Structure 1
Amino acid sequence: MPKITQTFPVVALQRLQKTYGVSRKCANVILLKQQEIREDDDYDVMSTLGLLHKWKLDLELVTRFPQILKRPPYALDHHKHILEECGITVGVSSLASYLKVNRSFLFALEAHGAIPAGHDVIGSLCRSVELAPAVEDTVRGSLGSVQSRTLLDVRLAVFQQYLRQRLDCDASDAEAMITKYPRNRHKSLRLTARILQLLEAQGLAAEKIVRNPYLLNTHPDQLEALLENCPTVASTDIREMLRKVPRIAYMPWHNTAQIVRIVEEFGFSEQTVLNGAEVFTLAADTVRERLVLMAEIPELWAMRHNKNFFKMVFSFQRTLNRLSYMRTINMRCLSVHLLSTFYPMFRRYVSTGEDRTGGADLATYLSERLSVPAAEVWRQLRHHPHWRAVPLLTVSQTTEALLGAGFSAAQVRHALHLTLYPERRALEAARDAADAAAVPEEYVLQLALYRLEREGHFSGTGVFAFAADRPAVAVGSGAPAELPVEEGRVPRRSARVEGR
């Protein structure tokens, strides 16, 4: 028992005593343990305590086994079910020493009275999920002398046979589902049966569950809470999201609910959410922090209308590294594809300038911002010989400036090529055109565009005027900086680049 050297508020102690019926000494231990792990979000002392109280266990034993309060509630629930399935009496002491019990041999557990003498552990486990007698015989044959086996060995033998029968997979797949995800070694058979039934009810085939064995680590209560509290995400059925990104089922439901609120707060479209469903596997605070930071970076925030925007949110550190590198070599034409694609494709673009999605972000932005069909935007932009060479940041700044100056979306739409010019030149030309006599208001921007094009002899090269302020570096002419080192390509002895 930990030595209590700190006093806690009397009110807090009395509340614990009244709520859970514990002594003052036990209440002190609980508050001490809560203070020790307060900064760790993975643990919730009060939730664990409430679970023990719900099971009507002797909470006074917490003073002898305070480590049990650090056990996550869902993990503790699995451990309770496992002990019950093996025929072991559930108590604070047995739960606290769960790992030690699993490493013990069956004859030792019987000798110490943890398991009743002559109790058939294999039969008890098989009956908990109604395994066929033939499967039970297979387990007994594979283990040989059961009494000389550890409880974990016996459990895993039954667990693998259950997975083979339930998911119709071979022995190697069943074994891989446990070895690749060691947490699956401590999953209750009954809770596993429940979660498999729930996953299949959401449309996840057995083959997909085998390919994503981390799903076995999902608690059924957690998935049920997700379906109840988050039935839709941006008007999309949560079941469709689960089929697209199964890992969402593994995340705490309240984390998903927070991300839903963040997505709605920032006003992202349904298609954007669907295309970037991986973002729901991040912590909600991380998603908000990344979106706030991206909103402060003009080059990135201008791409927010792209349906693949969340790919940059998901691979945020990679996006920042690439953006920093592109700024260093003065390459302004960026795209969501370029900043979030695989490393070989990014390297190829930096070397050759090849980006097959070039212009897609620009067309998407104008289509969304001006409420114009994307096909119409593409049709107009293709008449300009250099439109693909204009950065999206330039187009977005000019468009926002024109709309902010009082011009309507229809006026901007009818002079779409004006958005390819730098903001300062476009506004100056618009003001000069507005001051001209006898020019109808709806033709002001068209006149401004005419004057700008006339300066470049209608060659379209006027859009490159921004280059005078910042000399460009020719693509493929030798970059002044090294390509950013990305995760998975770090030299063995160097520090690992921070992940996503």
Structure 2
Amino acid sequence: MYMYYLLMNSKSNKWISIINKGARYVQSRAVNIENTSYVQHLCKFFDISESKAQFLCLKHPTITKLNEEKIKSLVDTSNEIGLSPEILIEEPALFGILPVTLKYRYKVLQECGVKIITPAMLTTYLTILKQKTIGELKNSGYLHPQINIENRLASFMTQWPTSLTTLIYEDVEKSTLYALRLKIIQRYLELLLDLTNEEYYRGIKTYPTIKHRPLKNINATLNILQSQIMMPNQKIKSNLYLIHADPENLKDIIYNIRSLGGIDIKEVIRMHPKLATKNYRTLLEIRKVFEEYGISNEAQRRCFSIFTLGSDTIRERLENAKNVPEFNTFFKHPRFLKMIHHNNTAMKRLSKLYSNNKKCASLNVLSGSASHYEMFEKAPGDRLGKGKDLLFCISQSLGKKFNMSQVRKVIKRHPFWINTPVFQVKYVYEQLSTQFTNEEIYENSPILLYPWKKVKLILNLIDKKQMHIEIPIIHEYFDYSVVSKSQKLSLVLYILEKNHYFSGNGVWLDENKQCVESDPS
């Protein structure tokens, strides 16, 4: 009896412990809800009390995942389709539906001829469309008994051939709205784009959202693509996702953006159809980001795919590129955006190359094809390939006065010009440009190939009038004032190479460890 009492007592204690934990959990949840911002958002947009807002959040946790912008978007969408925002409070399940989905569901039901669209119908949309036949919907009062659904739906498509009399060869009453809509879409695309049965089913399998786009939207989008953008039917067929592009957004892109990278936006969309599905506000934001960072139209033309990214992502990557010497070096390069577009790949490649002690990575290596990168990675030594990036970097640094061919004539005299990392060359130029003109640097272009520590050490010797230490034939009391700045750089080159018999080996940092270690910088 005593053992039984202990057993029962331990069980009751266990239950009491569980109840207490549950109470603490509920209490903590209530406190969390009370302190979170979405309660205030609900109160703000729906004019309800805090206690009711807290109750809604507890009963429908989906609401807690919505920020102010998303709640506002839902409210705006409700107003747009003619429902009062209070409907969302009466039917909280609507909070779990995306605003664009809510809008399209309403329009689809409207196109189907549903007499009164209630909030509950928006949440049970799939059941109404896919599980109930048209006959059942008419008997239930959802649809008017005398309505010809086939003709009604077909009327939203405006480019039917006049000779066409019948669309569906079966009893429509036994079909669902979902199946009927798909057949009308298929028939329309078949006639308009010469789309085969196989192409159609492959398309809706790949892009299932087409199934639930309002027919009016599909028709409007096709009209814009064909008559305004002048996109060939074959291109629409091979990019069937274009069919579910928002026609209003497409109009905004055409009329509000007009051009990207200096090219007419219609031509850009013909070349890169994916941009037709991009939100026009995002495209405007991206263009502003490029203006802010000084990205040229030519760079944009070389990589229109960059516009498929988000504006925040592009801004973040551009900002990060400033802090990576290898990226920053190519900031003004026409193909720089390709590296931003493939940023993750470029960063991984750069890290791997550094681990293999390869520093002469070109833009093509970092953002080009995998085969090109693998070839560079496996190749012996460390060289720039054709060296175009190096020549571009120097010519851009020196200004418009010196083009790439002029720079090449001077720089190629050095036997190891193609083995110098581009970011090192740019850094040396930046340091020299504070003391020397572009013309003086151009006349001694090979000096850009040498490590700055070595160059700076020799410049310091000249500035301190101690050149006789390196060149004994120069008298201690040599008049340094007669040496021009260009000659000064020539002297630096001479001193850097004289111990290497002017073979060019002075460019290697490890050749003169004493020089590096004694550098005060």
- Which range, TM-score by smaller chain? 0.7 to 0.9
Amino acid at match of 1:389: N
Identify which of structures 1 and 2 has the higher relative contact order when contacts are C-alpha pairs closer than 8 Å and 6+ apart. Answer: 1
Matches of 2:94 and 2:171, distance apart in 1: 33
* 1:198 counterpart residue number: 224
Shift of 1:109: 1.8
Tell me whether 1:416 sits opposite 2:460 in the alignment: no
Q: CA offsets per residue over residues 377-403 of structure 1, 9 Å max, x none?
A: 233232222211111121111111111
1:23 Cα deviation after fit: 10
What's the CA shift for 1:156? 0.9
> Are 1:109 and 2:153 counterparts?
no
In structure 2, distance between residues paired with 1:58 and 1:252: 26
- Structure 1 match to 2:430: 400
CA-to-partner distance for each residue in 1:14-43, whole Å, 9 max, x for gaps? Answer: 75457xxx999998889888852335x9x8
2:407 maps to amino acid:
V
Q: In structure 1, what residue type is equivalent to 2:485?
A: E
Match of 1:474 in 2: none
Does the 8 A contact of 2:63 with 2:96 survive in 1? no
1:253 is displaced (CA, Å) by 2.0
The one of 395, 403, 420 equivalent to 1:367 is 395
Distance 1:379 1:108, change over 3 A: farther
Q: Deviation string for 1:352-397 (max 9, x for gaps)? A: 2598854121111112121121222233232222211111121111
**Structure 1, unaligned runs of 5 or more:** 470-500
CA distance in 2, matches of 1:185, 1:132: 23
Which residue of 102, 119, 122 corresponds with 2:147? 119
Cα deviation, residue 46, structure 1: 1.6
Aligned to 2:295: 268
Q: Cα deviations across residues 208-254 of structure 1 (Å, max 9, x unaligned)?
A: 22222222232122222333443344544433433333222212222
Deviation larger for 458-467 or 121-130: 458-467
Aligned partner of 1:54 in structure 2 is 80
1:307 aligns with 2:334: yes
Distance 1:37 1:334, change over 3 A: same
Q: State how 1:316-355 maps to structure 2 within 5 Å.
A: 316-353=343-380
Structure 1 residues 442 and 10: alpha-carbon distance in aligned structure 2, compared to 1, 3 A threshold: closer
Q: 1:171 to 1:135 in 2, by over 3 A?
A: farther
Q: TM-score, normalised by structure 2?
A: 0.78
Q: Which residue of 1 aligns with 2:16?
A: none
Residue from 275, 293, 304 that aligns with 1:277: 304
For residues 102 and 278 of structure 1, what CA distance do their matches in structure 2 show? Answer: 37
Q: How far apart in 2 are the matches of 1:305 and 1:348? A: 26
CA drift of 1:421 comes to 0.7
User: What is the aligned partner in structure 1 of residue 21 from structure 2?
Assistant: none
CA contact (8 A) 2:360 2:422 kept: yes
1:327 positional shift: 0.7
Residue in structure 2 matched with residue 479 of structure 1 by the alignment: none
- Structure 1 residues 325 and 24: alpha-carbon distance in aligned structure 2, compared to 1, 3 A threshold: closer
Q: Which residue of 2 aligns with 1:382?
A: 412
Deviation at 1:136, TM superposition (A): 5.8
Cα distance in 1, alignment partners of residues 282 and 208 from structure 2: 24
Query: Residue 384 of structure 2 contacts residue 420 of structure 2 at CA under 8 Å; is this kept in 1?
Result: no
The question of 1:71 aligning with 2:97 is answered yes
Aligned amino acid, residue 209 of structure 1: I
C-alpha distance in structure 2 between counterparts of 1:217 and 1:262, whole Å: 28
Query: 1:391 is matched with which residue: 421, 432, 436?
Result: 421
How far apart are the structure 2 equivalents of 1:198 and 1:224? 8
Determine which of 112, 117, 128 is the counterpart of 2:156. Answer: 128
**1:294 to 1:355, Cα distance in 2 relative to 1, 3 A:** same
Query: Post-superposition shift, 1:185?
Result: 1.3
CA deviations 1:309-353 (Å, max 9, x no partner) are 222211222111111111111011101111112222222221125
CA-based RMSD of the aligned residues comes to 3.2
Q: Is the 8 A contact 2:38 2:66 kept in 1?
A: no
User: d(CA) in 2 for partners of 1:316 and 1:447?
Assistant: 42
Contact 1:433–1:445 (CA<8 Å) still a contact in 2? no
| 1:402–1:427 CA contact under 8 A, matched in 2 | no
Partner of 1:450: 494
Q: Tell me the TM-score normalized by structure 1.
A: 0.82
Match for residue 210 of structure 1 among 237, 242, 245: 237
Unaligned runs of 5+ residues in structure 2 are 1-28, 466-479, 514-521
